């Protein structure tokens, strides 16, 4: 194929060229370079595959606009997309390429009033962009006729298969004359798509755009392993230690995404959830806020995230590991776009390690293990952020003379340290409070990730191998402590399982606690006190 580099060279008309120039498109993307000439001239069906965000909409949309002439309002082309969000997006994108509204284009999706759609369909439409469900509704009501359709487009075909639209698509295609030209576009090309093509298409051309070398390198893939109950804490540590975090967080279920967004908000992070129960109006409002960066965290299910067109995300987080490799590719396609760098982060619980390996094998991404930032690191970043914020406020505020005078007066009457501390506490107390930050449970070390058997636990208790530390507890029998209560107290305070406390030796005025080494630091951290005071729990040797 010769290397056409301009839209002119592809054979597009001047109207369209003007519209593209207005949109600021300088040159066609690779998928556009290859498919547009085929669609403008040939008659064969076509399959086009290229990564998300590479301009597939224009790749079929521009030729549709060139080749379709109104025929008294009879539908000439139908574009099927998996979600209402995409229906709107594709509709808007295609509309933006035409000047003078020569063709009537109509988005048709569930959740939008039937009346409006019926009225518009009745008054004549040239191109329909719709979701399979709603298109079926109209076919059954006979409010939509497809017997003059010349072009049938399946956009985001892999997603439509994932969402189980195959039967609907088949039914819809039965309403369309055999002479139609079929176009199928997809970000990924699993074998199921080729089967679909074989079933429904005549002879077809296949255009596939390999990922450009280096494009992969722009996304770093990492994973973190943890227990389920620590996921939220790990996420906040990652957010804390990545200033400028702007990300999409994927959850498996609606309820899960809802809960996470609420937990994040409660912890002071600007997050919102997007899932199937969110109304269309609400959804648009949330997406707008996210695009404008009024919120930096969007928690979504896969279905709800389809078609979200936000380009400059710093992170995509698989809070729940995707069930399939394809989904992984889709999710992470949201970051590292257009030459920017991005990070794809996956959370796994120990039993999901195999699923992660499968994803690595199938996608060929190297997903590297990462250590969870420690509470200290997260706290330091929070402090740095507070300092940054304060200096920014100093630079950008011009206090009045009255305010300055009051400051001088206050400084003459109080210790500067007390004054600033009080203001800090008031303004940033939550961010600076280590006690409010949860500890994370240590994972069992390698080779012991199955639940411990009673025997091996007993072996540990009886002082066998296993790595234990002794901690000094500064109160004893005379203070009313009993062994059981002490075990419970330590375990509750530090958030560690009671079974990790192997032994308690209770004396009159102190106790010695033997714990699994993995937990010792967690406990010490929890009982830390400001410099100069002796903590209730400390290392035995101290």
Given 33, 35, 52, 381, the residue binding ligand ADP (CB under 6 A): 52
Residue from 35, 54, 491, 522 that binds ligand ADP (CB under 6 A)? 54
Strand partners for 297: 247, 271
Nearer residue to ligand ADP within complex by CB, 49 or 500: 49
CB of 257 to Mg ion, least distance (A): 23
> CB of residue 279 vs ligand ADP: minimum separation in angstroms?
24
- Bridge partner residues of 298 (DSSP): 248, 272
Count of residues in the chain: 542
- Calpha distance 495→490 (Å, rounded): 8
Where does this chain touch Mg ion (CB under 5 A) — which range of 52-60, 134-142, 406-414, 511-519? 52-60
Q: Show the tokens assigned to 316.
A: 């995509």
- Per-residue contact flags (x/-) with ligand ADP for residues 18 to 37, judged by CB under 6 A: -------x--xx--x-----
Helix axes 483-494, 517-526, angle to 10 degrees: 80
Q: Does 57 bind ligand ADP (CB under 6 A)?
A: yes
Binding partner of residue 70 among ligand ADP, Mg ion, none, CB cut-off 5 to 8 Å per kind: none
Task: Closer to ligand ADP by CB, 93 or 240: give it.
Answer: 93
Contacts of 80 (CB under 8 A, 6+ apart): 130, 131, 132, 135, 152, 153, 154, 155, 160, 165, 169, 172
Outline where DSSP puts E strands in 155-268: 181-186, 204-208, 219-225, 247-250
Measured distance CA(268)–CA(239) in Å, rounded: 12
DSSP labels, 360-427: HHHH----EE-PPPPHHHHHHHHHHHHHHHHHHHHHH----HHHHHHHHHHHHHS-HHHHHHHHHHHH
Alpha-carbon span 383 to 281, nearest angstrom: 38
Which listed range, 14-22, 53-61, 266-274, 436-444, lies at the site for Mg ion (CB under 5 A)? 53-61
Q: Which is nearer to ligand ADP, 56 or 275 (CB)?
A: 56
Q: Considering the rule CB under 5 A, would residue 330 count as an interface residue with Mg ion?
A: no
Candidate list 56, 84, 138, 382; residue touching Mg ion; CB under 5 A: 56
Residues 6+ apart with CB under 8 A from 218: 336, 339, 340, 341, 342
346 binds, among Mg ion, ligand ADP, none (CB under 5 to 8 A by kind): none
In whole angstroms, the minimum distance from the beta carbon of 10 to ligand ADP comes to 11
- Asked whether the beta carbons of 255 and 305 are under 8 A apart, the reply is no
| Position of minimal CB gap to Mg ion | 56
Q: Which does 54 bind (CB under 5 to 8 A by kind): Mg ion, ligand ADP, none?
A: ligand ADP
Per rule CB under 6 A, count of chain residues that contact ligand ADP: 13
CB 239, min distance to Mg ion, A: 29
Which of Mg ion, ligand ADP, none interacts with 29 (beta carbon under 5 to 8 A by kind)?
ligand ADP
233: closest CA among 24, 446, 441?
A: 441
Beta-carbon contacts of 440 under 8 Å, excluding residues fewer than 6 positions away, are: 226, 230, 233, 234, 237, 372, 375
Stretch that binds Mg ion, among 36-44, 56-64, 129-137, 401-409 (CB under 5 A): 56-64
In the chain, the N- to C-terminal Cα span, in Å, equals 75
Query: Which range touches ligand ADP (CB under 6 A), out of 45-53, 105-113, 365-373, 431-439?
Result: 45-53
Q: Which is nearer to Mg ion, 34 or 56 (CB)?
A: 56
Query: Contacts with ligand ADP in 69-98 (CB under 6 A)?
Result: 93
Contact 156, 186 (CB under 8 A): yes
x-or-dash pattern for Mg ion, window 484-523, by CB under 5 A? ----------------------------------------
162 scored as a contact of ligand ADP (CB under 6 A) = no
- Residue 56 in the binding site for ligand ADP (CB under 6 A): yes
Supply 425's token pair: 């506490």
Check binding of 58 to ligand ADP (CB under 6 A).
yes
Cα–Cα distance measured from residue 421 to residue 430, given in angstroms and rounded to the nearest whole number? 13
**Binding residue for ligand ADP, selected from 4, 17, 55, 443, defined by CB under 6 A:** 55
* Binding-site partner at residue 58 among ligand ADP, Mg ion, none, CB < 5 to 8 Å by type: ligand ADP
Residue 404 CB, nearest distance to Mg ion (Å)?
57
Q: Where on the chain is the footprint of Mg ion (CB under 5 A)?
A: 56
Q: Where on the chain is the footprint of ligand ADP (CB under 6 A)?
A: 25, 28-29, 32, 50, 52-58, 93
């Amino acid at each position: 194929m010769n290397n056409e580099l301009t839209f002119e060279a592809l054979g597009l008309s001047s109207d369209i060229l003007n519209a593209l120039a207005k949109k600021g498109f300088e040159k066609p993307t690779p998928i556009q370079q290859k498919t547009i000439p085929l669609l403008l001239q040939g008659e064969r069906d076509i399959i086009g595959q290229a990564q998300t965000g590479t301009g597939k909409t224009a790749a079929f949309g521009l030729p549709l606009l060139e080749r379709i002439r109104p025929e008294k309002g009879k539908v000439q082309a139908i574009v099927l997309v998996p979600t209402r969000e995409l229906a709107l997006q594709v509709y808007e994108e295609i509309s933006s390429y035409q000047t003078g509204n020569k063709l009537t284009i109509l988005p048709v999706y569930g959740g939008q009033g039937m009346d409006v759609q019926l009225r518009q369909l009745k008054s004549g439409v040239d191109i329909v962009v719709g979701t399979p469900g709603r298109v079926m509704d109209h076919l059954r009501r006979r409010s939509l006729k497809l017997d003059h359709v010349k072009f049938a487009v399946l956009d985001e075909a892999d997603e439509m298969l994932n969402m189980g639209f195959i039967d609907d698509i088949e039914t819809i295609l039965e309403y369309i004359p055999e002479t139609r030209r079929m176009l199928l576009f997809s970000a990924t090309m699993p074998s199921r798509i080729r089967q679909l093509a074989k079933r429904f298409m005549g002879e077809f051309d296949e255009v596939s755009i390999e990922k450009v070398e280096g494009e992969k390198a722009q996304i770093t893939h990492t994973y973190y392993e943890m227990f389920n109950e620590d996921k939220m804490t790990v996420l906040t540590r990652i957010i804390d230690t990545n200033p400028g975090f702007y990300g999409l967080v994927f959850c498996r279920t609606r309820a899960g995404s809802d809960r996470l967004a609420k937990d994040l908000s409660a912890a002071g992070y600007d997050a919102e959830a997007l899932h199937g129960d969110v109304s269309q109006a609400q959804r648009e409002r949330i997406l707008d806020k996210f695009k404008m960066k009024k919120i930096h965290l969007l928690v979504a299910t896969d279905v709800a995230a389809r078609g979200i067109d936000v380009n400059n995300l710093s992170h995509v987080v698989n809070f729940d590991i995707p069930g399939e490799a394809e989904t992984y590719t889709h999710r992470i396609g949201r970051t590292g776009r257009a030459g920017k760098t991005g990070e794809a982060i996956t959370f796994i619980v120990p039993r999901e390690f195999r699923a992660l390996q499968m994803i690595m094998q199938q996608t060929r991404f190297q997903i590297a293990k990462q250590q969870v930032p420690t509470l200290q690191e997260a706290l330091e970043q929070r402090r740095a952020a507070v300092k940054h914020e304060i200096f920014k406020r100093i630079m950008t505020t011009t206090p009045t003379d009255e305010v300055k005078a009051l400051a001088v007066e206050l400084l003459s009457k109080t210790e500067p340290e007390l004054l600033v501390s009080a203001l800090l506490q008031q303004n940033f107390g939550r961010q600076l409070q280590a006690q409010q930050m949860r500890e994370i449970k240590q994972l069992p070390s390698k080779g012991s990730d199955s639940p411990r058997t009673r025997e091996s636990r007993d072996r540990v208790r009886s002082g066998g191998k296993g790595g234990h530390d002794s901690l000094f507890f500064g109160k004893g029998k005379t203070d009313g402590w009993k062994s059981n209560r002490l075990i419970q107290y330590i375990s509750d305070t530090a958030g560690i399982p009671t079974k990790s406390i192997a032994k308690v030796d209770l004396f009159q005025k102190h106790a010695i606690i033997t714990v699994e080494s993995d937990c010792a630091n967690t406990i010490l951290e929890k009982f830390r006190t400001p410099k100069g005071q002796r903590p209730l729990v400390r290392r035995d040797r101290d």
